[in-house]
Structure 1
Amino acid sequence: MKKQILKAVTATMLIGTFSFAALAQNAAIVNGKAVPKTRMDMLAQQLAAAGRPVTPEMQPQLREEVITREVFMQEAQKQALDANDDYKAQLELARQAIMIRQLFENFKKTHPVTDAEVQAEYDKFVAANGGKEYKSRHILVETKDQADKIMADLKKGGKFEDIAKKQSKDPGSGAKGGDLDWANPGSFVPEFSEALIKLKKGETTSEPIKSQFGYHIIRLDDVRQAQLPKVDEVKPQITQQLQQQRLQKYQEDLRAAAKIE
């Protein structure tokens, strides 16, 4: 009799142990089917990838979400919806999307952008944007007659900023009194740049400058050495840009190498 009681107690303890073990690795048991905690982990990763990091306080919400999904999935399977042709087609598209995403993620991991590549790209940026920056204003009009009249008004004491606000057809700078802010001369059309760099601080062009946009009256307000960010400040952006370029070439190479009939 004692042996039978001992066996029963032992069996109960073993069942309890297995139950605790199951709960440790599963989020829940829904209608007798285990819902693994890895589903919560995957959901958390998806949220983090979408810019919504999961905090410990959100664990109950994740658990509730995976349980709810399991309930709905079981009902869908009970109705044999997984045998539906439309479901199978959508499942195949989803499978392709996941595989392709994994392919590209694997490519990024196996072809990382190096610090040397970031530095080389930064050096190109500095070479193209270094030197002097010019703070200028301009008034843009369609005809030379309009430009000549404005030049005459300026010589009579007209205020450059006021005339720009009223008459400049450049919607970006016109509303700001013609202000173009600090810029490298290379960011303007050649005719504009050539006239700008010849001016001294405070000077206005002696005659209108014609470009593809119309006629410009330009005033140089100030000059300084280009204020460029340090390489560490723009490293994330440069790295992302190089990764995208490299990934795009990888995609193009795969497409070009494929035999398509």
Structure 2
Amino acid sequence: MKKLLPTLALSVAATMTITGALSTPALAQNAAVVNGKAIPKAKLDKLIANSGQGSNPELRERARDMLITRELINQEAIKRGLLTNDDIQEQLEQARLNILVGAVFEDYIARGGVSDAELKASYEQIKTQFEGTEYKVRHILVEKEADAKALIAKIKAGEKFEDLAKANSKDPGSAANGGDLDWMTPQALVPEFSKVMVALQKGQMTEKPVKSQFGFHVIRVDDMRQAKVPDLAELKPQLIQMMSQDQNWQRAKFEEMLKNLKAKAKIQ
């Protein structure tokens, strides 16, 4: 569930700047001072932290411009008397209510709004995805079958699979790691790949290229193990997230929340 947080896009902020002399002492404790109104440096730091993009001079400047833009718009709205306009007031109240609705519902779900029975039913549906055998597998992906055959010949002749994967594989996610896909279940891979993978023994490589929609694979299984099925408690956040993507479920839960609120309320 996405939080409803009103923001102004950085791209908009980047098109607007403010000029004027700012004293060094003011800038020491504030990100900016706009027409005499200070924007605290702590507000800028919080905005950057919430962005999850780390911190660098370019990002700080863009974030600072955004805060300046917000303050300019706020000041202009006051100057034009828009905050006393009935239509504007109604829209602001509606926006505030929308934010509160989302926040209250999210908190309701987080604080036990999902029953144990619901969690268990959802858990039973997905736990089979974790059962069975996991494979520690590597592959080299190339476009042409002839290239894959040549790679198989080189590996049989003594060249290292990992080195050839780094130099030749078209899979950007695994090439740098010597073709390592880490631990995978057959369900997580395309059928052509998984069918061959499960037939290999530990340490064995495919004798022939394996064709899939992505190209031709050379596959090697380094190890295998029984998959560990996470318990319900471990998967609880993912289960709730999964259920929350169902609009019918969301609607039913929201109605349930309202029913509970009304049952506790004193309404005359």
**TM-score where L is the length of structure 1:** 0.59
Q: Deviations over 1:39-94 (max 9, x none)?
A: xxxxxxxx9xxx9xxxxxxxxxxxxxxxxxxxxxxxx9xxx959934653443232
What is the aligned counterpart of 1:100 among 81, 98, 113? 98
Letter of the 1:200 partner, please give it: Q
Rg: which structure is higher? 1
How far the C-alpha of 1:151 sits from its partner, in A, is 1.0
Identity percentage of aligned residues:
42
Q: Verify the 8 A CA contact 1:113 1:242 in the aligned structure 2.
A: no
Letter of the 1:91 partner, please give it: Q
Aligned in 2, Cα 1:242/1:82: closer, same or farther, shift over 3 Å?
farther
* Structure 1: segments with no counterpart, 5+ residues: 1-46, 52-75, 255-261
Cα distance in 1 for residues equivalent to 2:118 and 2:214 = 38
Letter of the 1:95 partner, please give it: E
How far the C-alpha of 1:122 sits from its partner, in A, is 1.5
How far the C-alpha of 1:95 sits from its partner, in A, is 0.9
How far the C-alpha of 1:228 sits from its partner, in A, is 3.0
Match of 1:194 in 2: 195
Match of 1:153 in 2: 154
Question: CA RMSD for the aligned pairs?
Answer: 3.3
Cα distance in 2 for residues equivalent to 1:83 and 1:156 = 80
Cα distance in 1 for residues equivalent to 2:175 and 2:78 = 62
Equivalent residues in 2 for 1:204-215, closer than 5 Å: 204-215=205-216
Match of 2:131 in 1: 130
Q: The residue matched to 1:169 in structure 2 has which SS?
A: coil
Aligned in 2, Cα 1:81/1:169: closer, same or farther, shift over 3 Å?
closer
Q: Verify the 8 A CA contact 1:168 1:174 in the aligned structure 2.
A: yes
Q: Verify the 8 A CA contact 2:142 2:215 in the aligned structure 1.
A: yes
Match of 2:168 in 1: 167
Cα distance in 2 for residues equivalent to 1:201 and 1:87 = 74
Letter of the 1:218 partner, please give it: I
Aligned in 2, Cα 1:94/1:240: closer, same or farther, shift over 3 Å?
farther
How far the C-alpha of 1:233 sits from its partner, in A, is 1.8
Match of 1:65 in 2: none
Q: Verify the 8 A CA contact 2:244 2:250 in the aligned structure 1.
A: no
* Structure 2: segments with no counterpart, 5+ residues: 1-45, 51-74, 256-268
Instruction: Report which of the two has the higher share of helix.
Output: 1
How far the C-alpha of 1:132 sits from its partner, in A, is 0.9
What is the aligned counterpart of 2:81 among 81, 84, 109? 84
How far the C-alpha of 1:126 sits from its partner, in A, is 1.0
Q: Verify the 8 A CA contact 2:131 2:229 in the aligned structure 1.
A: yes
**TM-score where L is the length of structure 2:** 0.58
Letter of the 1:211 partner, please give it: S
Equivalent residues in 2 for 1:66-77, closer than 5 Å: none
Cα distance in 2 for residues equivalent to 1:174 and 1:226 = 25
How far the C-alpha of 1:121 sits from its partner, in A, is 1.3
Aligned in 2, Cα 1:234/1:156: closer, same or farther, shift over 3 Å?
same
Letter of the 2:220 partner, please give it: R
Cα distance in 2 for residues equivalent to 1:242 and 1:158 = 49
Cα distance in 2 for residues equivalent to 1:183 and 1:125 = 16
Q: Deviations over 1:144-197 (max 9, x none)?
A: 111111111111111100100111111111100000000111111110010100
How far the C-alpha of 1:231 sits from its partner, in A, is 1.0
